[in-house]
Structure 1
Amino acid sequence: MILGLPWWVFMMILFIFLSGYMAFRAMRAEQKLEKHYIEQEGKVYIDRIRQEREQRQEQKQRQPSH
């Protein structure tokens, strides 16, 4: 007996806390991956906008002015 509890009760409580910690760690890792993915997609979007802006400027420069 540990602290007046059977050893298996103590182990169950320990496993509950361990399970909670592992779930918390998994949640943080998932958030990190999601943030990384969002940043990558944002960069692709910004690059696409930048390319379109450059193409428009090139087209403007090619057109003869009146």
Structure 2
Amino acid sequence: MLLFPWWVYLCIVGIIFSAYKLMTTAKEEEKIDQAFIEKEGRIYIERMEKEKERRMKRSVDEKDEQCENSAENNHSIA
């Protein structure tokens, strides 16, 4: 049973434990990173939608203004 000194077995157990902790920590960090990415993505999409609405509103306002201007300038004597 004791082919190696006791500290060699202790090192092997330490290596296995460290590998286990590395894997569990990596999974937890991946979950945290994914949640952060999803949150930032939602914020970005909301900003894009607000910008789209703002541009659509500005476009509609400009069209209304152009129609008013063309109606005012469309006075002909003939």
- TM-score, normalized by the shorter chain, greater than 0.5: yes
Question: How far did 1:3 drift?
Answer: 6.1
CA distance in 1, matches of 2:2, 2:58: 80
RMSD: 1.8
Letter of the 2:25 counterpart? A
My pick for the range that moved more, 9-18 or 39-48, is 9-18
TM-score (norm 2): 0.67
Question: How far did 1:47 drift?
Answer: 0.6
Instruction: Give the structure 2 partner of residue 14 of structure 1.
Output: 13
Instruction: Give the structure 1 partner of residue 58 of structure 2.
Output: 59
Number of residue-to-residue matches in the alignment: 65
Question: How far did 1:61 drift?
Answer: 2.0
- Alignment map for 1:9-48 (pairs within 5 Å): 9-48=8-47
Instruction: Give the structure 2 partner of residue 49 of structure 1.
Output: 48
Question: How far did 1:56 drift?
Answer: 1.0
Long gaps (5+) in structure 2: 68-78
Q: Which has the higher contact order (CA 8 A, sep 6+)?
A: 1
Long gaps (5+) in structure 1: none
Question: How far did 1:33 drift?
Answer: 1.0
Q: Percent identity?
A: 32
Letter of the 1:46 counterpart? I
SS of residue paired to 1:26:
helix
